[in-house]
Amino acid sequence: MSNLAFYVHIPYCVRRCGYCDFNTYTPAELSISNDLSETSRSYIDLLIKELEFARETTGLAVVPTIFFGGGTPTLMESADLGRVISAISDHYELSPDAEITTEANPDTVTKEKLASLREAGFNRISFGMQSAVPHVLKSLDRTHNPENVLKATTWAREVGFNEVSVDLIYGTSGESLADWELTIDTALSLPISHISAYALIVESGTKLGAQVKRGEVTMPDDDETADKYLLADEKFIQAGFDWYELSNWSKKGSECRHNLAYWNGDNWWGLGAGAHSHVDGRRFWNVKHPAAYTQKVIESGNPIHDQELLTRDEARSEEIMLQIRLATGLSLSALSESEAKSLPTFLAEGYLLPSAWENGQVVLSKTGRLMADRIVREILV
C-alpha cells in the first residue's frame, strides 16, 4: 500500500495576527460565540464526513503522519480532535509509529488540556512562540505572554510529549539583533526537540501589508535579515539542533516527518476549509469559507473547489525547488547538463558544500541557504 499523510485544517483563531494571511476566522467574523465548543463538535463532524469521501477517492493507504494546523487547533475540544484521529484509523491503516502533531497557541493550553491532547492520541506539539520580546510580539499582534511558553513546553513534557517544537519569526519591524538573540537564547532554554525559524514575509491583504504600503511600518533590509538567520543557525547548531531544512533544526531523530513528506513530494490529503491536497501529481483544494465548506460537505461530502494536474516539467521544477531546501540536497546525476551548468560557479563562490559535491550531491552551504531562490532560478532557467 502507498502512504497518505493527512493535514487537518482548523480555521478558527481568537483574533487575527497582523501578518497572517492564512485561511482563519475569528468568532466575530463568523458571528458565532467565543465559546467554540458547539462549533468544535459540528466542524469535526464535517471533517469526518470529508474523510469518508477521501477514502472513497484514494482507496486504502498507510497513514504515517497526521498534522493539525490552523488557525488554532487547541481552541477545539481535545476529544473532538481525537475523533478525527480515530476516524482516520478506522478508514485507513494508521502506522504503528505514526507522528500525530498539533499546533498550539501557548495561551490556549493548560496542563490538563495538554494531558487530554496526549490521551486523544497526539505525540508531537508545536507552539507558536514567535518571539520572547514583548514589543516584538506586540508588533506581530501576538497576544500571548512570553512567560507562558516556558509553562506550556514544560507541561507538555510532563504529560508525555517527547517531541515539542517552537516556531520563531525574525525580521519584524523594530526588532534589533539583540532582541532576536534573546529570543534564540530563550527558545534554547526550553525543553524542546525542534525549532522552526522563519523570516517575516509581508503579505498583501494583511494588516501588516497595509501598514507597510502606507509607510507606517518600515521593514528591515535583507542584510539585517540574513545576519539574523546566520546567528540563529550558529546558536542552534552549538546547542545540538541540526539543520535539516532551510528553516528547520532538530535534535537527532526529531525532524518533523510530516513536513518532510511535503518537501519530498509525497501524497497527502488536506481535510477542512481551504485545505490543499496532493495525490499522485494531482493538486486540489477545498472551498475556503467555513460556511461554504459546511454546505458542500453536507450536500455531497466533497468540498473540493478546484484542481490542477501537474505537468512533467512542473513536477520536476517543484521537486528541485523543494529538495534543494533539504540538508540531503539534490543528486547531481539527476540533473541535466543544462540544469547543472551554473552549479560549478556557485560551488566556487562557496554556496555549495564541497564535501557533498565530491559525493555527487548538491547541498547548500550556510551562506548558500541565503541564496536558495537564486540558485533554483539558475537551475531552472
Q: Examine the pLDDT at 327 and tell me if it is beyond 90.
A: yes
For residue 350, how far is the Cα from the chain centroid? 29
Q: Which three cell numbers stand for residue 228?
A: 539574523
Q: What percent of the chain has pLDDT over 70?
A: 100
H or E element in which residue 300 lies: helix 290-300
Residue 197 exposed, middle or buried by CB count within 10 Å (0-12, 13-18, 19+):
buried
195 residue type, one letter: I
pLDDT confidence band for 125 (50 / 70 / 90): very high
pLDDT in tens, 35-62: 888 888 999 999 999 999 999 999 999 9
| CA 173/CA 179 separation, integer angstroms | 11
Q: Examine the pLDDT at 164 and tell me if it is beyond 80.
A: yes
Query: Do the Cβ atoms of 67 and 101 come closer than 8 Å?
Result: yes
Worst-scoring range by mean pLDDT, 7-21, 114-128, 264-278, 360-374? 7-21
Supply the pLDDT for residue 149. 96
pLDDT confidence band for 218 (50 / 70 / 90): confident
Mean pLDDT to the nearest integer, 155-174: 96
Rounded to the nearest 5°, which phi and psi values hold at 148? -70, -20
Other C-beta atoms closer than 10 Å to the C-beta of 16 total 17
| CA 223/CA 243 separation, integer angstroms | 21
pLDDT confidence band for 136 (50 / 70 / 90): very high
Residue position matching grid coordinates 483563531: 13
Mean pLDDT to the nearest integer, 316-344: 94
Q: Examine the pLDDT at 95 and tell me if it is beyond 90.
A: yes
Cα-based distances in Å from 31 to 11, 293, 295, 344:
14, 16, 17, 58
| CA 101/CA 170 separation, integer angstroms | 24
Cα-based distances in Å from 95 to 60, 259, 277:
13, 17, 20
What residues does each domain of the chain span? 5-263, 313-380
Residue range 5-263 in CATH 3.40.710.10: no
Q: What's the residue count for the chain?
A: 381
Let me know the angle formed at the C-alpha of 7 by 236 and 209, rounded to the nearest 5 degrees.
Answer: 65
Q: Which three cell numbers stand for residue 144?
A: 500571548
Supply the pLDDT for residue 265. 92
Question: pTM for the complete prediction?
Answer: 0.95
pLDDT in tens, 167-191: 999 999 999 999 999 999 999 999 9
pLDDT in tens, 229-259: 999 999 999 999 999 999 999 999 999 999 9
Q: Examine the pLDDT at 206 and tell me if it is beyond 90.
A: no
Supply the pLDDT for residue 235. 98
Supply the pLDDT for residue 275. 98
| CA 172/CA 148 separation, integer angstroms | 21
pLDDT confidence band for 299 (50 / 70 / 90): very high
| CA 340/CA 347 separation, integer angstroms | 11
Least Cα distance to 36 among 100, 103, 108, 105 occurs for 108
Q: Examine the pLDDT at 68 and tell me if it is beyond 80.
A: yes
Peptide bond preceding 265 in cis form (omega within 30 of 0): no
Let me know the angle formed at the C-alpha of 145 by 111 and 229, rounded to the nearest 5 degrees.
Answer: 105
Mean pLDDT to the nearest integer, 76-92: 97
pLDDT confidence band for 1 (50 / 70 / 90): confident
Q: Examine the pLDDT at 143 and tell me if it is beyond 80.
A: no
Mean pLDDT to the nearest integer, 125-153: 91
pLDDT confidence band for 26 (50 / 70 / 90): confident
